[in-house]
A and B are shown apart, each in its own frame.
Chain A
Amino acid sequence: DAKTTQPPSMDCAEGRAANLPCNHSTISGNEYVYWYRQIHSQGPQYIIHGLKNNETNEMASLIITEDRKSSTLILPHATLRDTAVYYCIVRAWNTGNQFYFGTGTSLTVIP
């Protein structure tokens, strides 16, 4: 599985969009990008995933660059409850490869 690089921490003002970057420059063609978050020792929560097209759901949007070497998770209107550690993971869909979690980005939403 390709490795990912994320900034260790970020701040975002409440009500503003939070844009969390992830670099995955060695991603392969069969690898999806997944985003999870973990709110203070709760179980990691699935947010969104995509292969090459941009994706949107009720929680967030995922923007993947055309070369697929990086992506951005967008929380459109951050709230205090979005304060969490956000993990970007790449994984090949058609193999038995596992989900390996890195150190993630600790997002703090500031009132």
Chain B
Amino acid sequence: DTAVSQTPKYLVTQMGNDKSIKCEQNLGHDTMYWYKQDSKKFLKIMFSYNNKELIINETVPNRFSPKSPDKAHLNLHINSLELGDSAVYFCASRKGVSDNSPLHFGNGTRLTVT
């Protein structure tokens, strides 16, 4: 069983479109994250949710809107896509927010904006 799963794996779209990426974890974790990895391979945190509540927003443009319908899911909706949004987006989860539990990552969604 995949612990943290993301869909789709690949997403190719045109500038100006709106798209969503879905993430689900079956680990029973309370905290979920979105990370972005750009072409230079730098992995940067975007958002963090704990029990469906937003706890971290790392100065991400408000075209990006995360939504957590329950603590096992964290989806990412992106409006008005730009070329610079092309990247690999990783979802991750961990048990709590203030403990020493490690992050567990999904296998990523490669977004290409043309």
Q: What residues make up the interface of A, taking CB atoms closer than 8 Å to B?
A: 32, 34, 36, 38, 41-46, 49, 51, 85, 87, 93-96, 98-101, 103
Q: Which of chain B's residues has its CB closest to A101's CB?
A: B43
Give chain A nearest CB distance to B77 CB in angstroms.
Answer: 21
Residues in B with CB closer than 8 Å to A103 are 41-42
Give chain A nearest CB distance to B85 CB in angstroms.
Answer: 17
Query: Does B103 make an interface contact (CB < 8 A)?
Result: yes
Q: What residues make up the interface of B, taking CB atoms closer than 8 Å to A?
A: 4, 33, 35, 41-45, 48, 55-56, 58, 88, 90, 92, 97-100, 102-108, 110
Q: Is the CB of B56 within 8 A of A96?
A: yes
Residues in A with CB closer than 8 Å to B35 are 101
Q: Is the CB of B100 within 8 A of A49?
A: yes
Chain B interface mostly: strand
Residues in A with CB closer than 8 Å to B98 are 93-96
Q: Which of B44, B48, B58, B98 has the most CB of A within 10 A?
A: B98
Q: A95-B98, A98-B45, A103-B42 given as contacts; is B108 within 8 A of A41 (CB)?
A: yes
CA distance A55 to B46 in the complex (A): 30
- 15 A-B pairs with C-beta separation under 8 A: A43-B105, A46-B103, A46-B105, A49-B100, A93-B100, A94-B98, A94-B99, A96-B55, A96-B56, A98-B33, A98-B45, A98-B58, A101-B35, A101-B44, A103-B42
